[in-house]
A and B are shown apart, each in its own frame.
Chain A
Amino acid sequence: MKKGEIENLVPGQLGDKERKLRSFFLQQVSNIPGGESIKKCIQCGCCTGSCPVSYMMDITPREVIALFRAGDIESILSSRTIWICASCYACTVRCPQGVQVTDILYALKRLAMDQKIFPKRFPVYALSQSFVNLTNRFGRSYEPGLIILYALKTNPFKLLGMLPLFIKLLMKGRIGIFPERIKKTEAFSRILKEAEIMEMIVPVEES
């Protein structure tokens, strides 16, 4: 939030951007089974303590929930926290209140990607986009293609460093020369097109 914006606010009132982010986020959270338990967080920090990568995060998982409550989702989105999470679910299973921490971080990742709030040539976004493109096209993931697309989007010189491992795995028959694809690719893209429309439909609550 910018400085001027804060001064114009009445205590307890959220800025326009924050309100928009919040409604997207809450809608995403409502799709998570048990998502409403985010309200029950007691700020004990078990999530942070269980996280194998919290030492690399600028905002810990506990602080993520505290910031959401304080009405500052924007700060969470511009942190590296959500991108460092490796989806190990240690926080989720240890939480004494049943908060679905991993799924909440997923919702935040989707929000950040949707709003494009992250640095340029950002590794996780590049990898996810490459993965999604390949899956949409072939119906299957293709490891060499994924790495090449990812490197082109971030730093092509990375490919040189990966070459020795690539050759090793190739010799062992662990790399496909050509991508595998599903048979019904045309029907698959029809499904995807409809799914894109479904993605945008948001259930409206009766008032």
Chain B
Amino acid sequence: MEYTYYPGCSLEASAKGYDESVRFVFDTLGHKLVELEDWNCCGATSYMSTKETISLVISARNLALAEKSGRDIVAPCSACYLVLYKTNKILKENSIMHAKVNQALKRDNLKYNLSLEVRHPLEVLINDVGIDTISAQADLRLDGVKMAQYYGCQIVRPDRGLDDKDNPQMMDALFEALGADNIYFPMKVRCCGGMLMTTYPDVGLELNKKILECAVENKAEMIVTTCPLCQINLEAYQNRINKKYKTDFHMPVYFFTQILGAVLGGSHAELGLKRNLFPVELKTQSVEARK
């Protein structure tokens, strides 16, 4: 299958490893990601909370550009996924807003005809590719690797009917099939605070401390996530959390595609693993060794 790929601004910079590993995973599994030509920022939560119509217009510009090819649009960043999905939903349900948005897009001869689906790579990998196909192609196994699956907020909420909102299972099922030992992790959809880490650091640090604490208590060796903002909040602020709360966290936090890519035979460079702040020591086992 072919998909239109919308990387989003984070994947160009702070989450470069996510971009590299998503491309690697899709490539290895034989599915094509075609990057959307001249995409722009989705607007994220900041634009949405400033001007509603304008934020819908800039987000819809991407949908209008993507519609030309007719392929579904795939966005790995949780915030981009949420914003594009939400824009699509609002425009489908609100004809006045749809007309206003198209009126603005007309200035560049663009028009969005509401024909697209906005999708997340995790869901595409599970529903279109299939867990069985993925584990059949895996070179390595994750036997005994204790993982905390952290979904964050915006991939499961608000309700999209893809997975359970309080206890999602997509990532758990995927890595369980590859042999991982998923730990008990009740904080899997608890908020990391997002931009609060910048605007109200006290709140942000507290929220991240609780998530890390839960992972450590349940003996996780790593946290895997789907969201660039969660990844950087959980990974990069551990020093500050340790200083503030007298804790001793040194928990590696990876994008789910980095670990999936490693199982599919990707090198550290191909998966952007060198960009992570913690050294990677994946205790993978080759499939042959296990037999």
Interface residues of A in 46-93 (CB under 8 A from B): 52-53, 56, 83-84, 86-90, 92-93
B side interface size, CB within 8 A: 66
By a CB distance below 8 angstroms, the chain B residues around A194 are 103-104, 106-107
A192 within 8 A of B: yes
By a CB distance below 8 angstroms, the chain A residues around B53 are 195, 198-199
A196 within 8 A of B: yes
Contact B193 A86 (CB under 8 A): yes
Alpha-carbon gap, A183 to B48, bound state (A): 23
A-B contact count (CB 8 A): 187
By a CB distance below 8 angstroms, the chain B residues around A193 are 107
Alpha-carbon gap, A56 to B199, bound state (A): 13
User: A178-202, CB under 8 A of B: which get 1 and which 0?
Assistant: 0010111001101111111111010
Contact A165 B14 (CB under 8 A): no
Contact A127 B40 (CB under 8 A): no
Partner of A198, one of B10, B57, B157, B191: B57
Contact A172 B94 (CB under 8 A): no
Given A28-B52, A110-B52, are A141 and B108 also a contact pair (CB < 8 Å)? no
Alpha-carbon gap, A108 to B283, bound state (A): 49
Among A1-9, A12-20, A132-140, the stretch that binds chain B is A132-140
Contact B39 A182 (CB under 8 A): yes
Alpha-carbon gap, A45 to B145, bound state (A): 40
Alpha-carbon gap, A178 to B14, bound state (A): 13
Contact A192 B54 (CB under 8 A): yes
Contact A33 B50 (CB under 8 A): no
By a CB distance below 8 angstroms, the chain B residues around A113 are 49-50
A128 within 8 A of B: yes
Alpha-carbon gap, A84 to B197, bound state (A): 11
B76 within 8 A of A: no
By a CB distance below 8 angstroms, the chain A residues around B236 are 165, 168-169
Contact B158 A89 (CB under 8 A): yes
Contact B199 A83 (CB under 8 A): yes
By a CB distance below 8 angstroms, the chain A residues around B177 are none
Given A53-B191, A88-B153, are A123 and B199 also a contact pair (CB < 8 Å)? yes
Measured CB to CB, the nearest residue on chain A to B109 is A187
Task: Name 12 interchain pairs, CB-CB below 8 A, sorted by A.
Answer: A31-B90, A33-B90, A52-B191, A53-B191, A83-B199, A106-B52, A127-B195, A135-B41, A183-B38, A191-B105, A192-B104, A198-B57
Known pairs A52-B193, A83-B199, A113-B50 / 15 extra A-B pairs, C-beta < 8 Å? A31-B94, A84-B196, A88-B191, A132-B50, A135-B47, A143-B14, A150-B198, A165-B236, A174-B14, A188-B61, A191-B58, A191-B104, A192-B58, A198-B53, A199-B51
- Chain B interface (Cβ < 8 Å from any Cβ of A): 9-10, 12-17, 38-41, 43-54, 57-58, 61, 89-90, 93-94, 96-97, 100-101, 103-108, 110, 153-154, 157-159, 165-166, 189-191, 193-196, 198-200, 203, 207, 236, 274-277
The 7 nearest A-B residue pairs measured at CB: A88-B191, A89-B157, A131-B46, A88-B153, A195-B57, A187-B108, A141-B9
